[in-house]
Chain A
């Protein structure tokens, strides 16, 4: 009976991970990376301007979005939602999809400078209507890449855990 219960736990755990991954949460606006980065070929760093300058890539400020959407596709319902935020002076409360634990020190600036494609860690975002966490951003991925590119001190604990 204990064995059956344990087996049940494994099944439950797997079912949760497989069917409720939580890697593509419901965002306040149904923003499509496919439309922006894919179909219209807007470069990633046009909006995520901080990526090459800062530890965090950042999300665009509302006025950045409105830079285009004052003119472009103003009648679409999701763009209207954005305009509402803009008119009330409120930021859009986006939900994080890619999130590293607090004990990992990761800096975008360094990786962008090294010429790593965004897609290496974030997956083919330009083909996603709803962004989900596709690449397994775990320690193994970091180490494999660091080893492959022979990063100096790339496998030292303190390089990331500091």
Chain B
């Protein structure tokens, strides 16, 4: 050490100093970051930090009306499950319902009122006072106002009604793309009943579904999935399921028999089966002769020829449906979205009637009146009423439009001219929670709470065979500067000087008032106790059933036109039928901004994100396209592009596309992803129901020469000798694993 010179000494001091500093900083960085412990100033009564609080409410993700239980901690919603007491969901919930959290916490939610700045053409944040003032001012000077919303059930509908009533001339219109208008009209014409019946899948032993994908989106998928499970494994004879549809859906894949029929001829097939049952002596009513002659045109030979279904299959289904009791036939989805949609619904009702399935357990049961005074269905408008709106807007006879939580610019075909019509309406205000395609065209946006932040009540549709109502309550405090839609309407009415038009101070008051009447009709105890137990249960039921005997007059069927559907586009130029289909993931497009739904593999193709077009392997080979080739799908009314998914379970002259993606707005996750098949369908309607015949458009398919990577979870859909799909032949186990497997030969592209 003695020979350390001055220079060396300074070096060592420097090194030591740097070392000490580095060590100090290292220790500092290893410390926990500063965390706070912030108590409430005044905690809610039931609050315990670290302990979850559950609230029962009603799911708002689709119109099925499942009961939900939401787990909250420290005032934040954490998880949504099904409410075990609710007869629709019985403790279960679908994926879209679970993703309700991503609606609540969505980064693209509108967080304050917005005003369109005329000069820049973009929105600027505003206060509620400014926004309400602007809307009230515009409505005061407007002669013709249209209030357009999603389907609203329960007492909230009363606020809408009274609000519209307070304006000098206002039209109230509820529009949902996925609403089964044809079923409603079909039931009214067949049985004279306005509400949907209960389809008792749980107790049926033989279900024939004509196009209704009841496990993946059709009207009440959670309840129907429960029913399917009970029918299959409920400790009794196993239910037998037949699915008639041109493209295999989830329900088709779960069925015992999948029957592809020409698109739009599902009703014909139902009448053909009914005719067989009558001919085999399966119908013994007094009007048997009338039915025999009414159904005579639907003999097995002609039905088989027109539907493309082998006559043996028709006969087998007829025998099975006649002899297996109880049976049930249902229809919906694309089958009722043809120009003969109502006829198909009536035909299926006829089949149920002939087979004796009406009014019995395991068949169709009618729903009694709801405990609530209003169901809100009265203002429901089909596509046709929006087409009328377009006409009026083009004439300039609509001065203002108020739109809430429905997105017709996305769900209406481009051919309908809705977007152009909306531009002609001088004043548009939106009360939606997201910047969807329709809201983006508004002048003022007054964003509403999500369903997890608002009061409401509901009558599930379809019901469950007895009288049920449910209440939805806020499970968290509002996250942003939004308002309950009912409160916004009350505020606008008050600002216009119509404060007496709506007798309630808030939505909560309105809902509570409605349930006071329910309580007066037979609730027990005092109202406060009733209300408390109602909110705790989340649902209220009365054991009232509708056991009326109905009869179906043969003249209803006789009055039907020839049941052949018509298509837009000639077969030579447009050789394929476009089969758009809805799913539980995207519903009518509202799932497209939820990352969980985008990440969730489609149940049949396992594709995540983006859109695709399903093409039969034979067709794909004829067209010279492979999986992942981007093709252009063109109708007379436009074209979209999508990558090919080679799908063996689709008829060769049908191409199928999922509905829900292809948004130009709706936030960062939805925007510019996938394509929207609805944009190219022809604006033709089913005359009887006025609903859009969105499955009746012919298209052509042309390769673009581009390729896209389809992100699928399944990898290769063929078995390729990997022993992953093992089947046993007659002598089970005799040959063991060395046996040649009966794998399904599927012709796909050359390897």
Contact = CB atoms under 8 A, between A and B. Distances in A.
Interface in B18-58: 18-28, 31-32, 34-43, 48-51
Interface in A95-127: 95-96, 99, 101, 108
Contacts of A4: 12, 15-16, 19
Contacts of B25: 12
Interface residue tally on B, bucketed by range: 20 to 34
B49 A91 contact: no
A5 B22 CA distance: 9
A67 to B, nearest CB: 11
Interface stretch (A38-46, A49-57, A140-148, A150-158): A49-57
B20 A58 contact: no
A12 B42 contact: no
A74 interface: no
Given A61-B39, A94-B39, A9 B26 contact: yes
A9 B51 contact: no
A9 B22 contact: yes
Contacts of A93: 36, 38
A59 B177 CA distance: 50
Contacts of B24: 12-13, 15-16
B41 A85 contact: yes
A9 B34 contact: no
Nearest to B33: A99
A12 B21 contact: yes
Interface string A1-35: 11011111111111111001010010000000000
B27 A61 contact: no
B20 A50 contact: no
A20 B42 CA distance: 35
Contacts of B23: 8-16
Nearest to A90: B41
A108 to B, nearest CB: 8
Given A22-B31, A89-B41, A58 B50 contact: yes
B658 to A, nearest CB: 38
B35 A95 contact: yes
Contacts of A1: 11-12, 15
Nearest to B11: A1
A4 B160 CA distance: 80
A61 B42 contact: yes
Interface residue tally on A, bucketed by range: 35 or more
Contacts, number: 121
A89 B38 CA distance: 13
B73 to A, nearest CB: 10
Contact of A11 (B20, B34, B42): B20
A2 B12 CA distance: 9
A78 interface: no
A92 B34 CA distance: 15
Which of B12, B37, B41 is most buried by chain A, counting CB atoms within 10 A of its CB?
Answer: B37
A61 B34 CA distance: 20
Nearest to A2: B15
B51 A54 contact: yes
Which of B16, B17, B22 is most buried by chain A, counting CB atoms within 10 A of its CB?
Answer: B16
Contacts of A59: 37, 39
Contacts of B43: 61, 63
B15 A13 contact: no
Interface string B288-331: 00000000000000000000000000000000000000000000
B713 to A, nearest CB: 28
B290 to A, nearest CB: 70
A62 interface: yes
A126 B720 CA distance: 73
A91 B19 contact: no
Contacts of A5: 15-16, 18-19, 22
Nearest to A65: B39
B41 A50 contact: no
Contacts of B22: 5, 8-9, 12
B21 A63 contact: no
A95 B34 contact: yes
Given A25-B34, A93-B38, A58 B49 contact: yes
Contact of B41 (A53, A61, A94): A61
A91 B24 CA distance: 34
Contacts of B34: 25, 95-96
B53 to A, nearest CB: 12
A15 B20 contact: yes
Contact of A50 (B19, B32, B48): B48
Nearest to A86: B41
18 contacts: A1-B12, A4-B19, A10-B23, A11-B23, A12-B21, A12-B25, A16-B23, A54-B51, A58-B39, A58-B49, A59-B39, A60-B39, A63-B42, A63-B43, A90-B41, A91-B40, A91-B41, A96-B36
Given A8-B16, A9-B23, A63-B43, 11 more contacts: A1-B12, A1-B15, A8-B21, A9-B19, A12-B21, A13-B26, A61-B40, A63-B41, A91-B41, A92-B39, A96-B36
